[in-house]
Amino acid sequence: MKVLWLQKLTCCGNTHSLLNYETPSALFEELSFIYHPSLSLDSQEEVVRELIEKGKDIDLLVIEGAVECGDKELIELCKRSVFVVAVGNCAVYGNIPALSDERICGLSYRFKEKGGLLGDNFLSKGGLPVINLSGCPAHPEWIVTTLLMLAGGIKLELDQWNRPMLFYSSLTHWGCTKNEYFEWKVETEELGSKKGCLFYHFGCRGPLSYSSCNQTLWNGVSSKTRAGTPCFGCTEYDFPRIGMWETKHYAGIPTELPIGVSKRGYIMLSGVAKVFAPERLKDEN
């Protein structure tokens, strides 16, 4: 399968993520890159111009970075592609570049508003919507596995944001080594600590975001929360948000509760948990 990887408004973080994949030989055995900014010598503009002039179809088009809402060349390339993949939050939702410019968007969303560059009902020549790999950046395992599944003709199950459920069906919270502290409402006192939960004071979005970061570890070793840093919810449409290092409260209760937890249930459970939390957890923290 031939791949065209284009960079738009981006910090190139997803390219760095791709190049950090542990076994790159598996990628290049199955895929042939027509163009990639870090792997090719030609200029992106020349490659795009030639493809459009010759009317060539594309097996797999990968877009990294936010896009201008009226990018006609990109729309034309997307229509000619069997599959289209938006890699990274900027390409999916518009993200940081879209914060200060209403003309900037993602391929199929602008934050939570559906539409983006390609409109509500876009389907590629392969009959699929844009496949979204959100994250800042997306995990290399998510990128490579998705591309290889498409190359191998393996069906992708997608969530409501058209993200592969293989990576986005579970909360980032799942697999976090701080889960016991979360359950017993034992809060950490400082950033960088491997003890205590980061949800109550330091803005951790793990219970509010979907990703496999604590199951498929970064570099096969760790994750933000395991290193004592809050999850910033970088796979979600509202990233980045103001006050990422703090948890907002109202009457002593977090204004945003974990997905699926009611306010009443939270109050009841948190009160009991704090009273009966094991002393070993309090002592460790």
Q: Are residues 40 and 85 in the same domain?
A: yes
Whole-number Å distance between alpha carbons of 31 and 3: 7
The residue among 134, 166, 198 that closes a domain is 166
What is the pLDDT confidence band of residue 229, given thresholds at 50, 70 and 90?
A: very high
pLDDT score at 189: 84
- Residue 276's pLDDT is what? 67
Residues 209 and 160 in one domain: no
Are 137 and 214 contained in the same domain? no
Place 264 in a pLDDT band, splitting at 50, 70 and 90. confident
Q: What is the mean pLDDT of residues 214-221?
A: 93
Q: Which residue range is the domain that position 273 belongs to? A: 170-285
Same domain, 121 and 231: no
**Together in a domain, 41 and 133:** yes
Clarify whether residues 154 and 174 are in a common domain: no
CATH assignment of the domain containing 55:
3.40.50.700
Do 116 and 81 have their domain in common? yes
Residues 137 and 256 in one domain: no
- The model's pLDDT over 75-107, given as tens digits with 9 standing for 90+, comes to 999 999 999 999 999 999 999 999 999 999 999
- Indicate the residue among 166, 181, 199 that finishes a domain: 166
Are 264 and 161 in the same domain? no
The total of structural domains in the chain comes to 2
Query: How far is 259 from 62, CA to CA, in rounded Å?
Result: 31
Q: Which residues on neighbouring strands pair with residue 222, listed in sequence order?
A: 218
Residue 153 sits in the same domain as residue 188 = no
Last residue of a domain, one of 119, 142, 166: 166
Query: Model-level pTM?
Result: 0.92
Give the residue, 242 or 137, on which the prediction is more confident: 137
Q: Which of 122, 140, 125, 63 is nearest to 94 (CA)?
A: 63
Per-residue confidence (pLDDT) for residue 281, from 0 to 100: 74
Q: Let me know whether 142 and 274 are in one domain.
A: no
Residues 160 and 238 in one domain: no
Alpha-carbon Rg of the chain, whole angstroms? 21
More confident residue, 115 or 280: 115
CATH number for position 233: 4.10.480.10
